A and B are shown apart, each in its own frame.
Chain A
Amino acid sequence: QVQLEQSGAEVKKPGASVKVSCKASGYTFTSYGLDWVRQAPGQGLEWMGRISGYNANANYAQKLQGRVTMTIDTSTPTAYMELRSLSSDDTAVYFCARVNMLRVNDYWGQGTLITVSS
């Protein structure tokens, strides 16, 4: 069965960076893309970007350009999302979600809470 297992919650100080992992199992990793989506406390869902499991090409939400980097390691297989220059506005639960052939997010990780606080 398809599973996406994310790394654990972290607390970061303003200005720091965070790297969240998403380990995939139960499907052919290189045949699907992965989205990263975040959700601030009590808020809606915000798409952050997408990375191809095939060739690691990534595109990012315009508002995060320059602060976010998405990578993959096909050997493990795991996807990573690094966000730099954190501020309190980045406090959120971060999800990875598989992108199927129809470009729909059919499987989601359990989420990783990132808290930015001094």
Chain B
Amino acid sequence: DIQMTQSPSSLSASVGDRVTITCRASQGISNSLAWYQQKPGKAPNLLLFAASRLESGVPSRFSGSGSGTDYTLTISSLQPEDFATYFCQHYSSTPPTFGGGTKVEIK
């Protein structure tokens, strides 16, 4: 199975900050990477897929990049509604596995 290592596990930031979360796969995943946002008590919500493609309806302050084994989610200017936990997931093979999550908290 491909292991996904996400960092940091948590971070504190202020409204307006630029935030970056990284995800490393244990082997190359050919950009088959998705990012999800999850708020407490809710299901995950798809933000990006194919490493950098924005899901319909997701604000453009979210962006993704990377290749091979290393990928990044960037929030260009953190908004109050962005405080949540973020997960990466590879889907290049079965089983699709998730990173451990990054909790973005208010500083």
Residues of A that sit less than 8 Å from B by CB: 35, 44-47, 50, 59, 61-62, 95, 97, 102-106, 108-111
Count A-B contacts at CB 8 Å.
49
B→A interface (CB under 8 Å): 32, 34, 36, 42-46, 49-50, 55, 87, 89, 91, 94-101
Residue numbers in B under 8 Å from A50 (CB-CB): 94
CB neighbours (8 Å) of A111 from chain B are 42-43
Interface SS of B by simple majority: loop
A104 touches B49 (CB 8 A): yes
CB-CB under 8 A from A108, the residues of chain B are 43-45
Alpha-carbon distance A99/B80, docked complex (angstroms): 30
Chain A residues near B36 (CB-CB < 8 A): 105
A106 contacts B94, C-beta separation under 8 Å: no
Shortest CB-to-CB span from A62 to chain B, Å, is: 8
Question: Provided the pairs A102-B49, A104-B34, A109-B43 are in contact, do residues A44 and B96 lie with their beta carbons within 8 angstroms?
Answer: no
